[in-house]
Amino acid sequence: MTPHPSDGLALPVVDDALAERLRRRLATVEDDLAGHVSGSADFINEAAGHLMSAGGKRFRPLLVLLAAEVGPRPDAAEVLTAASVVELTHLASLYHDDVMDEADVRRGADSANARWDNHVAILTGDYLFARSSELTAALGPEAVLIQSRTFARLVEGQILETVKPAPGADPLAHYLEVVAGKTGSLIATSALYGAMFSGASTEVCEALREYGEIVGSAFQLSDDILDIASESEESGKTPGTDLREGVPTLPVLMARAANRPEDARLIELLDADLADDALHAEALDLLRKHPAMDEARAYVQDRAAEGKARLGVLPQGGVRQALEAFADVVAVRSA
């Protein structure tokens, strides 16, 4: 069977010609990235290229390239540079994330901190942030400002993830701020960069930025639902991983906020050490039956619809169709 041009792309592109253009340009970005992570010593090359060579969906640079299709200059050199900027920023954040999470595996390979140590992982992340900043400087002062604000939000999200909400603050609102910073901010900038550097109008640029923030965050939140609802043979992941590790997620926070008398046992389990398999299984079962699951699904679906509504300023065609289809994927995968 002949592969479809969109096979392997991280976005659902049904327009064959568009998919082929994106695939060719993404291959160029891939080659560019290999050059951008190169350093002055073999060890730097090995460490900086470690996660990149482990693969990844390249969703953010692909979104840059897709958004660029709405402007008159989708093949502008600045678009390709911007695609490298967002992927390098994302890769850098993964090195730091793995240190903070004490992760041993990333993308099916040893994490950098496991392969070497925390010092190497942190410095490698810093190096990739520096290379990203160097490329951003070539894009001009407006891009530097956007990237600086994006980086600040990303780091703020990482910091907020490590601290509890302030006394009296809403834990759910705190968590949504974490997701918007850690995930939504860079996806928003990816969509904005593509439109901006291809010469799209201010109205279109802002609409795509908002779309990226909303749908990007919703995609992360849908993972929260899948962590509880899916079976391992469906998702390829162990169900309830975040639950076992005590990570607050959308369904858990909504279940806590419900504050129902009949939830006393669930709350007791959520406050307990769920390393025990029997307790973990019980908590997972109670949470799956809880109305918070449907509430979380409805929230994600509403956000996906809100993101799609931002696309009304785009003309009908393959680009809008792909972006709408991705929002639909976000809604459906949490159902």
Residues 187 and 233 in one domain: no
pLDDT of residue 143: 98
Residues 206 and 257 in one domain: yes
Residues 27 and 46 in one domain: yes
Residues 67 and 169 in one domain: yes
pLDDT in tens, 128-180: 889 999 999 999 999 999 999 999 999 999 999 889 898 989 999 999 999 99
Residues 216 and 174 in one domain: no
Residue 6 lies in a domain: no
Residue 3 lies in a domain: no
Give a three-class secondary structure readout of the chain: CCCCCCCCCCCCCCCHHHHHHHHHHHHHHHHHHHHHCCCCCHHHHHHHCHHHHCCCCCHHHHHHHHHHCCCCCCCCHHHHHHHHHHHHHHHHHHHHHHHHHCCCEECCEECHHHHCCHHHHHHHHHHHHHHHHHHHHHHCHHHHHHHHHHHHHHHHHHHHHHCCCCCCCCHHHHHHHHHHHHHHHHHHHHHHHHHHHCCCCHHHHHHHHHHHHHHHHHHHHHHHHHHHHCCHHHHCCCCCHHHHHCCCCHHHHHHHHHCCHHHHHHHHHHCCCCCCHHHHHHHHHHHHHCHHHHHHHHHHHHHHHHHHHHHHHCCCCHHHHHHHHHHHHHHHHCC
Residues 169 and 275 in one domain: no
Domain boundary, last residue among 198, 220, 247: 198
pLDDT of residue 25: 97
Residues 211 and 296 in one domain: yes
pLDDT of residue 127: 85
Residues 215 and 73 in one domain: no
Residues 116 and 239 in one domain: no
Residues 225 and 193 in one domain: no
pLDDT of residue 124: 82
Residue 48 lies in a domain: yes
pLDDT of residue 57: 84
Residue 4 lies in a domain: no
* CATH code at position 81: 1.10.600.10
pLDDT of residue 3: 46
Residue 59 lies in a domain: yes
Domain boundary, last residue among 198, 223, 245: 198
Residue 5 lies in a domain: no
Residues 21 and 165 in one domain: yes
pLDDT in tens, 46-73: 666 666 666 678 999 999 999 999 999 9
Tell me which residues of the chain have a pLDDT lower than 70. Answer: 1-7, 40-41, 43-55, 96, 98-117, 232-237, 334-335
Q: Classify 236 in phi/psi space as left (phi over 0), alpha (psi -120 to 50) or beta.
A: left
- 229 is in which domain, residue-wise? 201-335
pTM: 0.91
Give the chain's domain count: 2
279 vs 49, 275, 286, CA distance in Å? 41, 8, 11
pLDDT of residue 235: 46
Residue 307 lies in a domain: yes
Residues 246 and 328 in one domain: yes
Residue 7 lies in a domain: no
Domain boundary, last residue among 176, 198, 220: 198
